[in-house]
Structure 1
């Protein structure tokens, strides 16, 4: 019997944003292969009930409250890691002998303690956290948050170097991070994002609008939307739909002032799928170089054209399925050209994505590595 402890930085349901999407669909894919998952979640508040979707794919679910003490900002350990520690976690890991998979370095404070007990430890490297927080600092407008993110970036630089060699294997999301980890600790494996998509949606040649979707509480997405709005301000003949459940008043006011831009809530996965199906093209921009974004897979599987900049993916195969622009002028030109183009890429996408990027194939690779003995 194959069993695995999986320590998540948050409760992985609903799978509504990048990192948690990867966690949830990874658990599902591993469970489908017969692996019994003992799920450990760090949360702000412990849920009253566990969703049936999570119960169906796990053997046990344990919750631990994240620490609230702001003095953790002054710890030498990154704040995101310092607030995710628990004696109860250690006790629960000791009760069931099984390998341990950490979801992100922020869940890995406990590994030094575990090393003395012969545990096999694995890491899902969601981001190069040093670069991730540096990017957040660069995009953030609030001066206090900008400083906090910069300090967190500096802390992670040392933290990553101390910990990466401690794992049997580090499962990286992107080519860039795979090369960085492999050059440093020689324990890297490239395992792309788990995204939950099974087959490519076959769609007609034309959609109705351009689509921008994302969590607009993050500084990177807010900056990306600001740039996109500027582009469509000069393209009044084309409609842009902005889909998000988290939008501040400032952005709402800006969108309301433009006749060709509308804001709609996502609310459910079904609603997002409908937005994808009716879109002619998707605008995906990022100013953080942190590997392939999960929203790219959702757009490629479920929608028509996808226009990206250089930070959405560093995977050349995926880039070949997209329209690319590295500057606002190039993105502008791609919008104009895509607006009149017929979408005829169903077969090509199906062949590439379903063969090389399925969740099942990634889960099989992980099982082979984790349970090789």
Structure 2
């Protein structure tokens, strides 16, 4: 019997240039490899356009406009949800009774319009209430801080109103526990879908320290600035910051450090090259409340050498044994000083293979997801 599946994405799942899109795109590809006919629906609201590449993995592709803030006057719904309630999408989904995979809490506003007895699964990329609270904490922009704080409060009120029989696929055990406590009994762990399926880290010595991520996101900008001001002013080794859309503050701070290079909007192949050639991938995180998992951490463990981070990045992931963890700037600086002249060895590669290759096996996890959908 031929299997069909609707997948509704919060954003254009191409190119795979940030964590959420990498997770979505690799899931689409995995379903395609399994022979599932994917009917893709996504919201186009930025410069990402309408990429033809998605046609290679999908039976059909439908594009919708995300509503602007001025069109979303429903103050009981978070903007990330209300802006994606779309009548045309509801009509498309109502033409059949195929299972629906909603990518992110963002897409759940459509549920009341496509109900009935059909199977609906929501991929929870993280606990959005906590995520937006942390964005508010990390940013210094007063307008953004107000927006993030408001979204967090609205999300907290909205989530308990969702149907309790929904399938919720979470990326971490902590998120599973959170949603089960809210009464969502059909919550289960579905690890994130990295682009890397085999550890290909290189032994020996690399050439630089690297921090990478979407630099337009407040928590990543905060981490990069912290490294510049608190760590690499103490450790004089080559330091590269690479990522999407760095702001003026970060550009200026990087330009003042003689041993630092800022690479804006690198391609996927450039990022892969930087991660693999680095001697140390440095990935601090300062979230007080932990949710989800960061794909840049997995990228570093699959492809890089030494990985240095803070407790918030790895707590509860099971990846702690593969990382060097410091809780403050002095500890991070000391770890970097020790590791910079220490070769990366085969024993560490073997440990990583044990930790990541089974847990984040995309085909295996897709097979388990299919058993729940059909």
- The TM-score with structure 2 as length reference comes to 0.94
Structural mapping, 1:12-91, within 5 Å = 12-44=13-45, 49-52=50-53, 54-70=54-70, 72=72, 75-91=75-91
**How many positions carry a matched residue from both structures?**
368
Judged with a 3 Å threshold, the aligned counterparts in structure 2 of structure 1 residues 46 and 96 are, in CA distance, closer, same or farther, namely farther
Q: Which residue number corresponds to residue 10 of structure 2?
A: 9
Q: Distance in 1 between matches of 2:232 and 2:321?
A: 28
Q: Distance in 2 between matches of 1:164 and 1:287?
A: 33
Q: Deviations over 1:77-102 (max 9, x none)?
A: 00111110111111111223200111
Q: Distance in 2 between matches of 1:159 and 1:226?
A: 34
Q: Distance in 1 between matches of 2:315 and 2:192?
A: 13
User: Are the aligned partners of 1:8 and 1:23 in contact in 2 as well (CA < 8 Å)?
Assistant: yes
User: What 5-or-longer segments of structure 2 have no aligned partner?
Assistant: none
Judged with a 3 Å threshold, the aligned counterparts in structure 2 of structure 1 residues 217 and 90 are, in CA distance, closer, same or farther, namely same
Q: Which residue number corresponds to residue 310 of structure 1?
A: 311
Matched, 1:177 2:137: no
User: What 5-or-longer segments of structure 1 have no aligned partner?
Assistant: none
- The TM-score with structure 1 as length reference comes to 0.94
Q: Which residue number corresponds to residue 189 of structure 2?
A: 190
- Return the offset for 1:72: 2.5
Q: Distance in 1 between matches of 2:230 and 2:27?
A: 36
- Return the offset for 1:352: 2.7
Structural mapping, 1:272-287, within 5 Å = 272-287=271-286
User: Are the aligned partners of 1:100 and 1:121 in contact in 2 as well (CA < 8 Å)?
Assistant: yes
Matched, 1:353 2:356: yes
Q: Distance in 2 between matches of 1:303 and 1:355?
A: 18
Q: Which residue number corresponds to residue 159 of structure 2?
A: 160
Q: Secondary structure at the match of 1:291?
A: coil
- Return the offset for 1:357: 1.7
Judged with a 3 Å threshold, the aligned counterparts in structure 2 of structure 1 residues 340 and 316 are, in CA distance, closer, same or farther, namely same
Q: Secondary structure at the match of 1:108?
A: helix
Q: Secondary structure at the match of 1:299?
A: helix
Q: Secondary structure at the match of 1:124?
A: strand
Matched, 1:132 2:131: yes
Judged with a 3 Å threshold, the aligned counterparts in structure 2 of structure 1 residues 347 and 112 are, in CA distance, closer, same or farther, namely same
Q: Which residue number corresponds to residue 331 of structure 1?
A: 332
- Return the offset for 1:271: 0.8
